[in-house]
Amino acid sequence: MIINKKYLINLGRILVISAILLAWEVMSRTGVIDPFFVSQPSAIIVDFVVLFTSKEIFKHLKVTLYATLMGLVLGSVSGLVLAFILGRFQFLERVLDPVIFALYGIPKLALGPLFILWFGLGIESKVVLSFIWVFFVMYFNAYGGFKDVDSKLVDSIRLMGASEFQVITKVVFPSSLPWILTGLKSGVGVALLGTIVGEYIGSSVGLGNMVMYAGNMFNTTRVFSSILVMTLMMIILNELVELLESRVLRWRTSSF
């Protein structure tokens, strides 16, 4: 009997997570670890259910999801466009490359207070912080993809009479798609990170604000249940990108 490989992978994940949660629960109940500091899985699940049944979570989830998606879209598009331009024009690349690396080296957390000052405590500052994080991730991935395009293939299609538009749409972008989608997958995580950091620094609503407030109240159960919401949100967004990747790159077969 042949067992589906995906089934075994999912089963392995479930067993590992279940073992960790069981050990955590047992140690919390027996006093090996103090539940005041680490709570316990059963209490976290109860609080997680309460967050949704009371509808308290939705106003926070709405704001965080919106800022994350806006930062992801704007950062991905901007990073992709700049990577394409610099990949095409060597002079601009030489001029702007040191500037981009210098800006990339600035700690993003240090920019948070400035964005709060410039854009206020509203959602705009969270979107901008998320955008900055995603922009660099997408730029470096897309730029690597454009530079990795086979120049011999480009020369061959030009000799066959292809226009510049056809070269870009038929060779450059298809060849760079794996790199671009990798940037998008990485961008999902940093988009959420940027939003949460912005909500930590200054916000009255959002999942980051929930975690900060719960931490100030020493409510570790609420901290963990909020983190669980973020984790599930991240999993769903990542699965959507995985679905996009499987459809866009269906021509590519895995070597594993």
- At residue 29, what is the residue type? R
CB 89 within 8 A of CB 145: no
Indicate whether 20 belongs to any domain. Answer: no
Indicate whether 137 belongs to any domain. Answer: yes
Indicate whether 138 belongs to any domain. Answer: yes
Using 50, 70 and 90 to split pLDDT, how confident is the model at 1? very low
Longest CA–CA span in the chain (Å) reads 75
Indicate whether 116 belongs to any domain. Answer: yes
Indicate whether 231 belongs to any domain. Answer: yes
What pLDDT is recorded for position 87?
Answer: 82
Indicate whether 27 belongs to any domain. Answer: no
What digits encode the pLDDT tens for the residues 32-79? Answer: 888 888 899 999 999 999 999 998 899 999 999 999 999 999 999 999
CA atoms in the 13 A half-sphere facing the CB of 222: 17
What pLDDT is recorded for position 255?
Answer: 44
Indicate whether 169 belongs to any domain. Answer: yes
Range of the domain at 148: 55-248
**Mean pLDDT, all residues of the chain:** 85
Report the domain count for the chain: 1
170 DSSP 8-state letter: I
- Phi and psi at residue 198, in whole multiples of 5°? -60, -40
**Distance, CA of 202 to CA of 206 (rounded, Å):** 10
Two tokens, residue 58: 């939705």
Indicate whether 50 belongs to any domain. Answer: no
CATH number at residue 126: 1.10.3720.10
